[in-house]
Amino acid sequence: MARSRSFMTEYECTNHEIRTNRMSGLELLGLNNHSSMACYSYPYMSSLEEGSANDSSLINPYSDHESRDHKKLKRTLSIADSVSSNSSINSSIISRSSSTNSLTTLPRLHFRDHIWTYTQRYLAAEAVEEAAVAMINAEENGAEQEDGTADGMRLVQLLIACAEAVACRDKSHASALLSELRANALVFGSSFQRVASCFVQGLASRLALVQPLGAVGFVPSKLNAKDYALMDKKEEALRLVYEICPHIQFGHFVANSSILEALEGESFVHVVDLGMTLGLPHGDQWQGLIQSLATRAGQPPVSRLRITGVGLCADRLLIIGEELEAYADSLGINLEFSCVESNLENLKPEDIKIFEGEVLVVNSILQLHCVVKESRGALNSVLQMIHELSPKILVLVEQDSSHNGPFFLGRFMEALHYYSAIFDSLDAMLPKYDTRRAKMEQFYFAEEIKNIISCEGPARVERHERVDQWRRRMSRAGFQGAPIKMMAQAKQWLGKNKVCEGYTVVEEKGCLVLGWKSRPIVAASCWKC
């Protein structure tokens, strides 16, 4: 389909729904090299139609934004219905008169809703061309792969149909779809079956929290004894992610390289680590920095190094601090470690002790997205606090994906693409029945997915955003970008650490982005006051 026809009418776009559904399955299954969100919304989002008082049971209560901007949301034909039988294709086409009634409600929407709707139609039309190429390639790979592709597409369609049912609080339909999904989403199956199993957990948790009609707010899940028993497994999974996946180590490498560049010629250094070590049992990042400072040539030795760790578990941080002090002493560096027991939202400038003559740098690895809220006040307060400290640089490493949108279905689709790429990379790194992979997927990535999918309000902390959004936030807070110029070193790092082929590093407006087959995973950036 030509791009000039992308802004089609609802009637025309609905005629392409089945083909676009097929495209979504192919793209998520890795048959298409492009990983855009082209399939994300229009064909799968419920239509905006003329509602009646009886339709109130279909309104999604979870998000204030969704309740305010989409009070006319009505569930249309399920995607699962559109693929149940070839003979039912004609029934999935909405009549022109129904489309006309739907269009008459559009002027009641906000202007931004018009822009959003037409953008999704444009992306859907553009994706049809990509889908055609993907389907041709799939047919050339033999009947066995074709069967797997068909099963995968069915799984994609079931997932999205279930997400729609959950969003509409259709418990009976969602429960039926969840039962079918559980039978097909296998923990030791294909990469998409495994990622689907994590999304099934999130959808089930969200469905369990559905409130009666007329209820206001969101009921957070309560921590029980079973959750405490899982803590050890989660810590082991985090350690495995650090050792096997390059995401966190890449952040540490870029951060340390940027810090070393900022500390060139300095002998009195102070590093503030927000959310120190992410919960890892050792200070791996700072051991690398200490070694680099001890061996740098042509510069004055570091006479004094201070590290301040910020976190909620002071006892653990102090143990790590003792290990770092002993390691630094063995390399002839005087290290002073201190910790501040606080979360980021309650951290104040006076909590960080700064001495005259020291050069201050601030390090944040996968931390600031946790304080991004709907009001934006919490993050602004944290950034203002950091700005008051006047660090020479702030190193920011975050997941590069849009998981903080106000609409549940939008977050669902974005997360499905993002974690499908991660699980695909795990496929390339580990054998099918490797228990390490299962531990990482079920006790680390699945926890992130469940938080994105099933939680709202303060309980939702995995609010990942694109690097462009972080650029705007940092700029509004008074920070200026400090371009990272180490593409050659980053590529050398990939080779030196034998990172799985398929991972790439690209430079984007002064930031370094680690991706899997062109799908961004994490982004590193530097900022100065």
What is the residue-wise DSSP string for 371-409? G--SS-HHHHHHHHHHHHH--SEEEEEEEBS----SSHH
Percent of the chain with pLDDT over 90: 57
Residue pointed to by tokens 């070694």: 291
Q: pLDDT band for 183, please (50, 70, 90 cuts).
A: very high
Residue 268 pairs in a beta bridge with 304
Give the C-alpha distances (Å, rounded to integers) separating 511 from 42, 53, 350, 386, 418. 31, 50, 31, 20, 19
Residue with the larger pLDDT of the pair 403 and 100 = 403
The Cα 189–Cα 199 span in angstroms is: 14
The Cα 296–Cα 293 span in angstroms is: 5
Q: Per-residue pLDDT tens for 234-292?
A: 999 999 999 999 999 999 999 999 999 999 999 999 999 998 888 888 899 999 999 99
20-29, 366-375, 460-469, 517-526: the lowest-pLDDT one? 20-29
Strands (E), 275-388: 304-311, 335-341, 359-365
Arithmetic mean of pLDDT, 339-357? 93
What is the pLDDT at residue 326? Answer: 96
Q: Which of 402, 395, 367 is nearest to 481 (CA)?
A: 395
Residue 400 in contact with residue 469, Cβ under 8 Å?
no
Other C-beta atoms within 10 Å of 119: how many? 14
What is the pLDDT at residue 4? Answer: 40
What is the pLDDT at residue 111? Answer: 57
Q: What are the tokens at 144?
A: 């066995």
Query: Does 413 fall in a domain?
Result: no
Residue 160 in contact with residue 24, Cβ under 8 Å?
yes
Query: Does 282 fall in a domain?
Result: yes
Checking if the pLDDT of 58 tops 60, the result is no
Query: Does 487 fall in a domain?
Result: yes
Residue 273 pairs in a beta bridge with 309, 363
Q: pLDDT band for 110, please (50, 70, 90 cuts).
A: low
Query: Does 202 fall in a domain?
Result: no
Domain count within the chain: 1
Q: What are the tokens at 243?
A: 């050792």
Residue with the larger pLDDT of the pair 122 and 304 = 304
The number of helices, as runs of H, and strands, as runs of E, in the chain is: 20, 9
Percent of the chain with pLDDT over 70: 68
Most distant CA pair in the chain, distance = 80
Residue 271 in contact with residue 519, Cβ under 8 Å?
no
Phi, psi of 528 (to 5 degrees): -130, 155
Checking if the pLDDT of 295 tops 80, the result is yes
What is the pLDDT at residue 410? Answer: 92
Query: Does 350 fall in a domain?
Result: yes
The Cα 135–Cα 18 span in angstroms is: 14
Arithmetic mean of pLDDT, 297-311? 91
What is the pLDDT at residue 300? Answer: 84
Q: Per-residue pLDDT tens for 411-445?
A: 999 999 999 999 999 999 999 889 999 999 999 99
Query: Does 429 fall in a domain?
Result: no
What is the pLDDT at residue 132? Answer: 42
Q: Specify the pairing of strand 335-341 against strand 268-274.
A: unpaired
Mean residue pLDDT of the chain comes to: 77
What is the pLDDT at residue 9? Answer: 34
What is the pLDDT at residue 81? Answer: 42
Arithmetic mean of pLDDT, 381-396? 96
Q: Which of 101, 126, 138 is nearest to 25 (CA)?
A: 138
Arithmetic mean of pLDDT, 154-170? 93
Residue with the larger pLDDT of the pair 413 and 43 = 413
> How would you class 392 by CB atoms within 10 Å of its CB: exposed for 0-12, middle for 13-18, buried for 19 or more?
middle
Query: Does 256 fall in a domain?
Result: yes
- State whether residue 41 is helix, strand or coil: coil
Residue 513 pairs in a beta bridge with 506, 523
What is the pLDDT at residue 245? Answer: 96
Q: Which of 338, 447, 452, 334 is nearest to 402 (CA)?
A: 452
What is the pLDDT at residue 55? Answer: 38
Query: Does 433 fall in a domain?
Result: no
The total number of residues shown for the chain amounts to 529
CATH number of the domain residue 289 falls in:
3.40.50.150
What is the pLDDT at residue 116? Answer: 55
Checking if the pLDDT of 453 tops 50, the result is yes
Q: pLDDT band for 221, please (50, 70, 90 cuts).
A: low
Checking if the pLDDT of 128 tops 90, the result is no
Domain that holds residue 391: 245-400+464-528
Q: Which of 385, 392, 393 is nearest to 352 (CA)?
A: 385
Q: pLDDT band for 175, please (50, 70, 90 cuts).
A: very high
What is the pLDDT at residue 76? Answer: 37
- State whether residue 229 is helix, strand or coil: helix
- State whether residue 330 is helix, strand or coil: helix
Residue with the larger pLDDT of the pair 45 and 507 = 507
The Cα 223–Cα 505 span in angstroms is: 39
What is the pLDDT at residue 5? Answer: 39
